[in-house]
Amino acid sequence: MTKEEVFRRMIIQFAASNMLSLGAVADLLGVDSKTIAKWMTGELVPHSSMQKPIEEILRSSCSNSANNSDT
């Protein structure tokens, strides 16, 4: 699996597991919802300089969601 495919799946899984709309994911990542849609379909891939920061945001948000559900 390519890095692009891994990234695409990570965004899809993040949105689905947190029940977030494209707009909510876009707001979280600071991009347009059309950009998220293109990332999710594989039409576009975030620039390599953006991939690591986006991965960190997604992981951080997942951790925060898990911690909040424990209370």
Which CATH number characterizes residue 17's domain? Answer: 1.10.260.40
pTM of the model: 0.74
Q: Which domain holds residue 28?
A: 3-69
Residue at token pair 């293109």: 38
Position 69 scores a pLDDT of 52
Residue 11: partners with Cβ closer than 8 Å, 6 or more residues away: 25, 36, 39, 40, 58
Position 20 scores a pLDDT of 92
Q: What is the pLDDT of residues 12-49, one digit of tens each?
A: 989 998 999 999 999 999 999 999 999 988 888 888 88
Interatomic CA distance for residues 19 and 29, integer angstroms: 16
Position 19 scores a pLDDT of 93
Residue 24: partners with Cβ closer than 8 Å, 6 or more residues away: 15
What is the number of structural domains in the chain?
1
Q: What is the pLDDT of residues 10-19, one digit of tens each?
A: 889 899 989 9
